[in-house]
Structure 1
Amino acid sequence: MTTFFKDIPQICFEGAQSTNEFAFRHYNPEEIVQGKSMKDHLRFAVAYWHSFAWPGGDPFGGQTFDRPWFGDSLDLAKLKADVAFEMFDILQAPYFCFHDVDIRPDGNDFAENTRNLEEIVDYIGEKMQGGSTKLLWGTANLFSHERFMSGAATNPDPDVFAFSAATVKTCMDATMKLGGENYVLWGGREGYETLLNTDLTREADNMARFLSMVVDYKHKKGFKGAILIEPKPQEPMKHQYDYDVATVYGFLKRFGLENEVKVNIEQGHAILAGHSFEHEIAMANSLGIFGSIDMNRNDYQSGWDTDQFPDNVPEMAKAYYEILRGGGFTSGGTNFDAKVRRQSIDPEDLILAHVGAMDTCARALKSAAALLEDGGLEAARDTRYAGWETADAKAMLGSDLESIAATVAAKGINPKPRSGRQERLENLWNRFV
C-alpha cells in the first residue's frame, strides 16, 4: 500500500440524499436499467495518462502536480501502478486504459522501450490478478516524442513508419497479455501542417497499409477485441486525416477496411469538428462502426480541447440515448479521457472528479433510458417517416426518373410542407432530464 490516497475511503452508493462527498449518489453499479446493470451499461474506465502521467501543465506554464512517481525509472513506474490500482479500488472502477508511455519509462531505443514495457506489463498483470479492474483498451503513443513530429504511419521517413509499426506490435502484445477488450489507434499527428511539403496520396496509402497490418496481426494472434480509430479534426496538426466519424468511414471504405475497424469517439473531438457528441455517435451507429467513447467536455469559451470531466447531464443524456438506441456497448465503454484542472493539486481532487463524473453519467443514462422506454420520441420519428413504409414509396425507390415523373403528372402529386415539430420534441426531451 502507498500513502498517496491515505484516509480516502472506498466510494460506495449511498443514494441521492447523501451528503457524503465521498459517495455515489446516482451511480449504483448493480441497479438494473433496461434489463442490464448500470455497471454493465456504462463500463467505466480510468484514463492512465490524465490521472497519473499528466504533470498539470498548459501551453503557458509547466508542471503544477508533485506526484511521488514522477520520473523515468522502472521503480517509479511500478509505484505509479501501485497508486493507480489503489485508485481503481477506491472507485470500484471496472476498467482502465493506457498508452505505452503512460506505464513504462522511456528508453534510449526500441529495444529498451520494449524491455521496459514487458516488465511493467508483467507487474500490472500481477496487480490485476488481485482485483476486479480489467483493461478496456491499450494504445501506443505515436505523437509525443520528437521522432513523430511529422506523423507515424504517414511520416515521410520510412524508418519512422517502421519504428511506429514495431511499437504498435508491442503494444498490441501488451494489450492482449493483459486481456484488453479493444485496441485503439490514436493518430495524434497523422495529418499535415502545410500542403507545400505534403503528398496526400502517399500518406493515405501508407496509413491504410499500416492499418491493414494491424488488422492482419489481430487475426494472426486471434485477438477477439475491436480495433478502434479515434477521430480528431485538429490540434496539434492543422488538418488530421481522421477528422470525424464520417471521414474515418470514408477512409475505411476506400481501402476495404470498413468491416474490420470501428471508432472510439471523444466528446471534445466531436466539438472541435463542429459536431455534437450525439451526432458522432448516431453517425457511427448508422455506418455500423460504433465502438467506444472517451467521455469528457470542452470549455466552450476557450475553443480548444480542454479534456475536462463531464458535468452536463442534459448534454450527456443525448449521447447515451444514441448509444442505447444503437443497442449499447459491446466491447467498448465510457473512458474518462479527462483531467483535473492544473490548480486541483490534492489527491482528493482526483478521486472526487471521477465520483462526480460517474454520478453525472449515471443520471444521464437513466434519463436516456426513461425517454427510450417512454417511446414518445421514437413514435414521433416513425410517424414522420411513415410515408416511406407504403407500397408506392417502396416501389418508387426501385423505379427511375421517367417513371416517377409520369406518376407525379398522372396523380397530380403536389405535396404541402409538414411540420418537423422540433419544439414539441424538445419539450418532450426536457421532461426526462
Structure 2
Amino acid sequence: MSIITGDKEFFKGVGQIKFEGRDSKNPLAFRWYEADRVVRGKSMKEWLRFACAYWHSFNGDGSDPFGGRTHFFPWDTNSDPLQRAKDKMDAAFEFMTKVNLPYYCFHDVDLIDHTNDVVENEKRMSQITDYAKEKQAASGVELLWGTANLFSHTRYMNGAATNPDFHVLAHGGAQVKSALDATIKLGGANYVFWGGREGYMSLLNTNMKREQEHLAKFLHVAKDYARAAGFTGTFLIEPKPCEPTKHQYDYDAATVIGFLEHFGLQNDFKLNLEVNHATLAGHTFQHEVQVAAQAGLLGSMDANRGDYQNGWDTDQFPTNVNELVETLLIILEAGGFDKGGINFDAKIRRNSTDPADLFYAHIGGMDTFARALVVADDILEHSDFAKLRKERYASFDKGAGADFEAGKLDLEALRDYAAANGEPAIISGQQELYENIINQYI
C-alpha cells in the first residue's frame, strides 16, 4: 500500500510498519504478523482480514462517564464540517496505510457530523463518500462494513426500529438508507446492524412482541432496499445483552440466531461478534464463535477485550494469546471468514495521549492474532487435540450410538440398551490435558 497523507502528515516520525520477526526490539514493527505468510493454504492477510474502527481511532476523545476528553486531534480543528471530515479522513488513511490495515469500518456519523435535517445529512454523506472513494482507490484500503448510528441521538432514547413512536422509526429508516447507499457506493463487503437501544429499560411500559415484530420488518425493508440497489454483501447483526439498555433484543449469538430464523432473515444475515459483548452476556467469546459457526452464521468479529475487574464495556485492545488461540481453533476449523474480518473495535486508553500509542495498540493486536493463528494451526497439525476430542465421542461412531444419531432408536430402545448393558464406566473429560496442549504450543 502507498501512504496517502493529503496536504499534511498527521503522524510525523512514524514510517511504514514492517515485519521484523520475533527478535525485533522495535516497538513500531510486527514480530508475528507477516501478511503474506501462508497458513493452511491461505495468507495471514486472508485469514485475519484486519480492519480499523473509524470511530474509536479517529473520533474517540478519551472521555468516559467520569471525565471529559483527554485526546486532542490536529484533524479535528477546522470549523467547516466538510473540511474537518476530510482532514480526519486524511489522518485515517495515512494511519491505515502506514500500519498495513487492509480494511476499515464506520458509522455514518463517524465520517461527517450530522444535523437534524435528513436532506442535509444525505448531502454531507454524498460529499464525504466521494472523498472516501478517492482515498480508497489511491491507497488500496477497502471498506469491510458500514453502519448507521441509531443510538446516540436524543430521538433514539427509546430505540430506533423498536421505538414506540413511528416518526422516530422513520428517521431511523432514513439514516439506514443513507448509510446503505454509502456502503454500496464504497464497495463495502458487509453492512452491520447494532441495536444499542433496541430493547427495554422496563417491561412495565414495553410491548415486547410488537417491538420485536417492528424490528424484523425494519430489517426486511432495509435488506430489500439494499438488494434492489445492487448490494451483494452480507448483512450482520451484532449481539450485545445490555448497556445502554437494560435488556437488548440481540442479547447473544443464540438469541439472534433464533430471531433470524423466526422472522425468515437467516438467508441474508449473519453475526458480527464482539469479545466484550460476549463477556457482558456471561459467555466466553469462544462460546459465541462456536454457536455462530455451527449454525453457519459466523460472519465477522469485533476484536477487543474487557477488564476482568470492570463490569462494563471497556473496549481494550486484545493481548491475551491463550484466549485468542482457543478462538482461532474454532475459526480455523470453520474455514475462516468469507466476507467478514477482524475489526479492532477497541480504543487506546484515556491516558494514552501520544500519537504513537494508536500504532502500538494496533501492532499489538495484530501481532497477538497472528501469533494465535500460528499456534492454533500448530495444534491442529501436530498435536493430539483433534484426535482426543474425536475419541471422546467414539461411542456414537458405531453400533447403538450411531443408530441413535441416525434417528433409528426410540425411547424404549434407549431403555432396553441401558438395562442390558448396566452402569456405564466413568470416562474422564481430561480438561487439564487439553489446557496443557494449548500452553505447550504457545
- Using the TM superposition, give the Cα deviation of residue 423 of structure 1 relative to its aligned residue in structure 2, in angstroms: 1.1
Matched letter for residue 401 of structure 1: L
Secondary structure at the counterpart of residue 226 of structure 2: helix
Other-structure match for 1:13: 19
Contact 1:107 1:116 survives alignment (8 Å): no
Other-structure match for 2:409: 399
- Using the TM superposition, give the Cα deviation of residue 20 of structure 1 relative to its aligned residue in structure 2, in angstroms: 1.3
Other-structure match for 2:73: 67
Matched letter for residue 430 of structure 2: R
Other-structure match for 1:102: 110
TM superposition score normalised by structure 2: 0.95
Partner of residue 253 from structure 2, selected from 245, 248, 253: 245
Structure 1 vs Structure 2 CA RMSD: 1.3
Matched letter for residue 432 of structure 1: Y
In the TM superposition, 1:258-297 aligns within 5 A as 258-297=266-305
Matched, 1:49 2:55: yes
Matched letter for residue 150 of structure 2: L
Other-structure match for 1:420: 429
CA–CA distance in structure 2, aligned partners of residues 283 and 72 of structure 1: 46
CA–CA distance in structure 1, aligned partners of residues 421 and 134 of structure 2: 75
CA–CA distance in structure 1, aligned partners of residues 332 and 225 of structure 2: 31
Other-structure match for 2:356: 348
Matched, 1:323 2:331: yes
Contact 2:146 2:191 survives alignment (8 Å): yes
Matched, 1:361 2:369: yes
In the TM superposition, 1:2-401 aligns within 5 A as 2-70=8-76, 73-396=81-404, 397-401=407-411
**1:254-294 CA distance string (max 9 Å, x none):** 11222221000000001111111111101101111100010
- Using the TM superposition, give the Cα deviation of residue 305 of structure 1 relative to its aligned residue in structure 2, in angstroms: 0.5
Contact 2:160 2:197 survives alignment (8 Å): yes
Matched letter for residue 398 of structure 1: K
CA–CA distance in structure 2, aligned partners of residues 72 and 140 of structure 1: 22
**1:309-354 CA distance string (max 9 Å, x none):** 1111111111111111111111111100000011111111111111
CA–CA distance in structure 2, aligned partners of residues 272 and 146 of structure 1: 25
User: Identical aligned pairs, as a percentage?
Assistant: 53
CA–CA distance in structure 2, aligned partners of residues 271 and 340 of structure 1: 20
**1:104-136 CA distance string (max 9 Å, x none):** 121231111111111100110011110111000
CA–CA distance in structure 2, aligned partners of residues 242 and 153 of structure 1: 13
CA–CA distance in structure 1, aligned partners of residues 255 and 249 of structure 2: 8
CA–CA distance in structure 1, aligned partners of residues 371 and 80 of structure 2: 40
Poorly superposed stretches of 4+, deviation over 3 Å: 406-409
Contact 1:72 1:105 survives alignment (8 Å): no
CA–CA distance in structure 1, aligned partners of residues 39 and 418 of structure 2: 48
CA–CA distance in structure 1, aligned partners of residues 192 and 324 of structure 2: 23
- Using the TM superposition, give the Cα deviation of residue 375 of structure 1 relative to its aligned residue in structure 2, in angstroms: 4.8
Secondary structure at the counterpart of residue 268 of structure 1: helix
CA–CA distance in structure 2, aligned partners of residues 366 and 251 of structure 1: 35
Contact 2:325 2:438 survives alignment (8 Å): no
Secondary structure at the counterpart of residue 264 of structure 1: strand
Matched letter for residue 426 of structure 2: P
Contact 1:97 1:335 survives alignment (8 Å): yes
Indicate the larger mover: 305-314 or 396-405.
396-405
- Using the TM superposition, give the Cα deviation of residue 379 of structure 1 relative to its aligned residue in structure 2, in angstroms: 0.6
Structure 1 unaligned blocks of 5 or more:
none
Equivalent pairs counted in the alignment come to: 432
Matched letter for residue 157 of structure 1: D
Shift of the 258–398 alpha-carbon distance from structure 1 to 2, 3 Å rule, reads farther
**1:5-41 CA distance string (max 9 Å, x none):** 0121110111111111111111111111111111111
TM superposition score normalised by structure 1: 0.97
- Using the TM superposition, give the Cα deviation of residue 384 of structure 1 relative to its aligned residue in structure 2, in angstroms: 0.7
CA–CA distance in structure 2, aligned partners of residues 3 and 284 of structure 1: 42
Contact 2:271 2:298 survives alignment (8 Å): yes
Indicate the larger mover: 183-192 or 250-259.
250-259
Other-structure match for 2:439: 430
**1:206-238 CA distance string (max 9 Å, x none):** 011111112222322232211000000111101
Contact 1:72 1:106 survives alignment (8 Å): no
Contact 2:162 2:211 survives alignment (8 Å): yes
